[in-house]
Amino acid sequence: MRMDAPGSRPGHPSSPGVAAGAFDGRPLDVEELEAARERWQVDKAERQQRIVAIVQQRGEARLADLEADAGASAVTLRRDLRELAARGRISYVRGVARARTRHTLEPSFHEKSLVAMTEKALIGRAAAELVMDGDAVIIGPGTTTLEFATQLVGRHIQVWTNSILVADALADAATVDVHLAGGEVRGATRSLVGSRAERFFNGLRAPLAFLSGNGFTVERGLTTPNARVAEIDRAMAAAAAEVVALVDHTKIGAESLITTVSTSHVSRLITDDAASSVLVEQARRAGVQVEVVSGVG
């Protein structure tokens, strides 16, 4: 099956499914397709680095201004800006991109919810296949874990969470026993944090904890810009036999200020097929069982 870049025409020489200078009408083999995809990922990364540099230099930039400076279409730029905002590289609201400190500031829940929506749904569906009737599972906050939670309606399970939205999504599920932590509300993640929330998970030993974060690298594992989020994520990870990281492609290779769960404590990672194949292979070599879901587009 040919893989085409978002916004490109199938079979066009600029598509990642066609090697540059090799458009002769013949089907490409797997190695050529993978090489083309990697070239497209490099081009995308370079373009996004250029966007961040422009925004940081100017303080803010409008979409119309970036079209000429970044050399990309408005459609491509909107997608890039939303991804960069979700990763905390910039702020993007109403067509205006603004500079922000990469490692310490966090995108809003709304900004995160606009990015990789289809991929997050696919990741959530794949994660739900790991849950059996009778299980007790721990679910952390986030837009991807929320997609996962919606797939659990109808299961006969227990859910332990600090996510207000996860609890709400399962509140009417008659066969799901929902246990919501107490603590202080953190608006950016719609979750509960603090010592009371951490104590909630003390003494638990669930088979699986499903967690996300602002980024994942092999060197540092799951990361977040917020110390209180890191503390509660660690408490949830410690309360589970295995940690499953739900991480869409925009977070693979991204990192933030504080490690929440190191790579050595991540048993399984579920991501989508737009993630860098190089970084996915690095995770596998580090001992993480990686599942790559596909079906976007």
Domains of the chain, CATH where assigned: 1-100 (1.10.10.10), 117-293 (3.40.50.1360)
Mind listing the pLDDT tens digit for each residue in 245-266? 999 988 898 888 899 999 999 9
Per-residue burial over 225-253, b = 16 or more CB atoms within 10 Å of its CB, e = otherwise: bbebbbbbbbbbbbbbebbbbbbbbbbbb
Instruction: Name the 3-class secondary structure at 143.
Output: helix
pLDDT at 112: 66
CA distance 36 to 249: 17
CA distance 152 to 257: 32
pLDDT at 91: 80
pLDDT at 47: 86
Dihedral angle, C-alpha 30, 31, 34, 35, nearest 10 °: -150
Token pair, residue 151, equals 């797939």
pLDDT at 19: 43
Q: What is the pTM of this model?
A: 0.68
Whole-Å CA distances, 257 to 152, 209, 215, 224, 262: 32, 22, 10, 6, 13
Spans of the chain below 50 pLDDT:
1-23, 104, 297
pLDDT at 69: 76
Token pair, residue 203, equals 């003494």
DSSP 3-state percent helix, strand, coil across the chain (nearest 5): 40, 25, 40
Helices assigned H by DSSP within the chain: 30-58, 63-70, 74-86, 109-113, 117-128, 143-150, 164-170, 195-201, 227-238, 277-285
The number of residues in the chain equals 297
